[in-house]
Every structure is written in structure tokens, then in C-alpha cells.
């Protein structure tokens, strides 16, 4: 079997401008910092990042934000990183960030639906709120649901504690 261990630079080498990347971690804990650093060094731009949160300034996804590499952020929590609001509200088009906030459970389910090859799923979460704007509402037995579409990515970056040459990974105290 081929050895699956790679350097950070080798692992991110196929990632190009405009890629969609899912990134593991929770509030910058368990985020694959070494891979994020390699992306910052590589300088790829116009990324769509799908993750739980925007990290904090100088950690996690925050490094990519500060470096201006993210065009679209799909996340459930961005409140710990003030740069998100600054970039969303800028008048400079090349610095503008599109931020799509998704309830955390819905985010996880959209990712799962994408991985399972589903066309979407129905949820009552967000019905009657701004979360419903632009989404299809489907009534089932008298109750309204939002049709949430799956999320898919070109790449997924995760952090593990120990990995063997076969790709088996141990996650120690990671989120």
C-alpha cells in the first residue's frame, strides 16, 4: 500500500484559487493549524470556507481572513472574530466577505447530506426568520419546513494527533 503521510505543503498542493474547503475544529480548537499556515503561505485566494466558526484573530480560520484569502465563509458562529464584520461591511470590493450564517445543527446536517449524496433535507429550524429568506418552504401535514440543500467541498482539512502510513488517524482531545 502507498504511504499516505505527506508534508503540509504536499497535502495542500492541489488547492487552487476559488476552491471550496471544509475545515474541522471548534472555536479554533482542533483546527488544522499547520495546514492553515501552509494555505496562508501558498497565498491561494477567493476560497469558500465551510466550517463551524471564523476562529479568532490570529488563529484558525482567522489567519485566512486576515490574509484576505476567503471570499465566502459558511459558518454557524462568527462572533469571536471582529474581522468578519469588518470585511462584510467594507466598501472595498476586493476585500468584501460574503458570510452565510447557518444554524449549527443545520450546518452539520447539510454537510452530512452532501456526503451521503442527498439532494437536501427538511427542517423546521429557521422557519419564519431571516434564515428562511430565499429558501423553499415545504408544508408537510400542516407544518412548514425549510428545504436545506447539501454542502460539498473540493477539499476537507482536519487535524489528527497521530496518523500511520495507511491513513488511520487518532484524534486526541480534538473537537
Print the SS3 string covering 20-75. EEEECCECCECCCHHHHHHHHHHCCCCEEEEECECCECCECHHHHHHCCCEEEEEE
Q: Other CB atoms closer than 10 Å to residue 62's CB: what's the count? A: 22
Q: What is the pLDDT of residues 90-118, one digit of tens each?
A: 888 888 899 999 999 999 999 999 999 99
Higher pLDDT, 153 or 161: 153
Per-residue confidence (pLDDT) for residue 175, from 0 to 100: 52
Contacts of 167 (CB under 8 A, 6+ apart): 4
Q: 12: part of which helix (H) or strand (E)? A: helix 8-12
Per-residue confidence (pLDDT) for residue 174, from 0 to 100: 63
Listed residue (65, 64, 77) closest to 26, CA to CA:
77
In this structure, what are the phi and psi dihedrals at residue 76, rounded to the nearest 5 degrees? -105, -15
Q: What is the pLDDT of residues 46-83, one digit of tens each?
A: 999 999 999 888 888 999 999 999 999 999 999 889 99
Contacts of 157 (CB under 8 A, 6+ apart): 12, 21, 22, 23, 24, 32, 35, 36
Amino acid at each position: 500500500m502507498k504511504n499516505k503521510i505527506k508534508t503540509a505543503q504536499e497535502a495542500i498542493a492541489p488547492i487552487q484559487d476559488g476552491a471550496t474547503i471544509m475545515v474541522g475544529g471548534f472555536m479554533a480548537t482542533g483546527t488544522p493549524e499547520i495546514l492553515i499556515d501552509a494555505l496562508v503561505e501558498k497565498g491561494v485566494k477567493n476560497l469558500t470556507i465551510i466550517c463551524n466558526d471564523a476562529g479568532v484573530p490570529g488563529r484558525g480560520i482567522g489567519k485566512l481572513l486576515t490574509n484576505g484569502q476567503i471570499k465566502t465563509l459558511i459558518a454557524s458562529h462568527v462572533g469571536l472574530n471582529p474581522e468578519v464584520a469588518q470585511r462584510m461591511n467594507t466598501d472595498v470590493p476586493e476585500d468584501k466577505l460574503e458570510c452565510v450564517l447557518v444554524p449549527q445543527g443545520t450546518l452539520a446536517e447539510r454537510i452530512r447530506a452532501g456526503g451521503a449524496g442527498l439532494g437536501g433535507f427538511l427542517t423546521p429550524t429557521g422557519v419564519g426568520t431571516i434564515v428562511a429568506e430565499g429558501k423553499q418552504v415545504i408544508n408537510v401535514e400542516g407544518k412548514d419546513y425549510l428545504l436545506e440543500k447539501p454542502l460539498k467541498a473540493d477539499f476537507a482539512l482536519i487535524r489528527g494527533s497521530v496518523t500511520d502510513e495507511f491513513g488511520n488517524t487518532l484524534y486526541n482531545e480534538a473537537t
